[in-house]
Amino acid sequence: MPDWLDGLEDDELKGNESLANFEDVGALAKSYLETKSMVGKGLFVPTENADDEQRAAFYDKVLEQAPSLMMRPNMENDDARKAFFKSLGVPEDSSKYEEVKVDDIGFDEDRDTAIRKAAHEAGLTPAQYKSVVTGMLEFDKGGLGERETENMEQMRELKLEWGMAFDDKKAIANKVRDTFLDFIPEAQMDARTIKALNTIGAQLIEGEGNIGDHRHEGEDDKLTPADALKMIDEIMGNTEHPYWNSHDPRHDDALKEMVDLRIAADPTASTELARAGFGT
């Protein structure tokens, strides 16, 4: 123990291990002054008795000495919430978000505006906004690709079903859309829609509806492959038909009719007839 401790009257002080660290009274006095000077610089956490001004002063002092810290905002306070979002880099308004596209595919104007507004209200940073919108567009693109493939396959099947009558039947469907359902964009006229509208149009025409004649002047109705095959079967099964009698004055017309039916049934089929009317 240092000798200067022997001069203390209090036995408890004499035996204090903390005081034993000071070699003399001067060292103790110097330590006391340093400690006192630090008191004014210290951070004392406000108690429950402190008011808002005292708490604010404490927070300012903390941030002054530790600027990398971030205050937890009061999200119920609009000003505090906006200040917090601004510190994160959230733009001042939704129009400041960068336009996002995936393979030149983006949102239409109304959807883009709604998504921007929602993102801004949620406090998304530009990077977060780009990540979210990119994910949405990639999801939409995947679904769009599947729908396009499905629509193309259905349209191919419809063209095979209708054959040379496809353009006429589609014209009827378009006339129905233009007359009664013009709110349907032409781009959304998939195979099922075209077929359904054609059925409605055919019924209206048969019942003298008001959609008008879809054909151009001098143009005849074209048969579907199914109708053409049915008529071929009828001719092939009827030996009294002029097709089977080369002496019948209607024989040449019957041959031409059979050629036309075969083309209507299958445009790639040969126009040579194996039995072109060798009958009685």
| pLDDT tens-digit readout, 95-109 | 999 999 888 778 888
Q: How big is the CA angle at 143 (ends 139 and 144), to the nearest 5 degrees?
A: 110
Distances (CA, A) of 76 to 60, 121, 207, 270: 21, 14, 67, 81
Percent of the chain with pLDDT over 70: 84
Backbone dihedral region for residue 163 (phi beyond 0: left; psi -120 to 50: alpha; all else: beta):
left
Half-sphere exposure of 227 (CA within 13 A, CB side): 11
| pLDDT tens-digit readout, 228-239 | 888 888 888 888
Taking the mean position of all CA atoms in its chain, how far away is CA 134?
9
Write phi, then psi, for 142 (nearest 5 degrees).
-60, -45
Of 49-63, 114-128, 158-172, the least confident: 49-63
Give residue limits of the domains in the chain.
Answer: 3-39, 94-146, 225-265
Inform me whether the pLDDT recorded for 226 exceeds 50: yes
**Spatial contact of 158 and 131, defined as CB atoms under 8 Å apart:** no
**Spatial contact of 174 and 212, defined as CB atoms under 8 Å apart:** no
The CA distance from 227 to 221, in Å, is 12
Write phi, then psi, for 117 (nearest 5 degrees).
-60, -45
The helix-helix angle for 225-236 and 251-265 (nearest 10°) equals 140
Distances (CA, A) of 122 to 90, 110, 128, 129: 10, 19, 11, 10
| pLDDT tens-digit readout, 46-96 | 788 888 888 888 878 887 777 777 667 777 888 877 787 887 789 988 999
**Spatial contact of 201 and 165, defined as CB atoms under 8 Å apart:** no
The CA distance from 238 to 253, in Å, is 16
Which pLDDT belongs to residue 9? 74
Which pLDDT belongs to residue 279? 42
Mean pLDDT over 169-184 rounds to 87
Q: How big is the CA angle at 56 (ends 53 and 82), to the nearest 5 degrees?
A: 120
Helices (H), the chain: 11-14, 25-39, 52-65, 78-88, 109-121, 126-162, 166-180, 191-206, 225-236, 251-265
| pLDDT tens-digit readout, 200-214 | 888 887 765 555 544
Tokens of 145: 């690709």
Residue 163 burial class via C-beta count within 10 angstroms: exposed 0-12, middle 13-18, buried 19 and up: buried
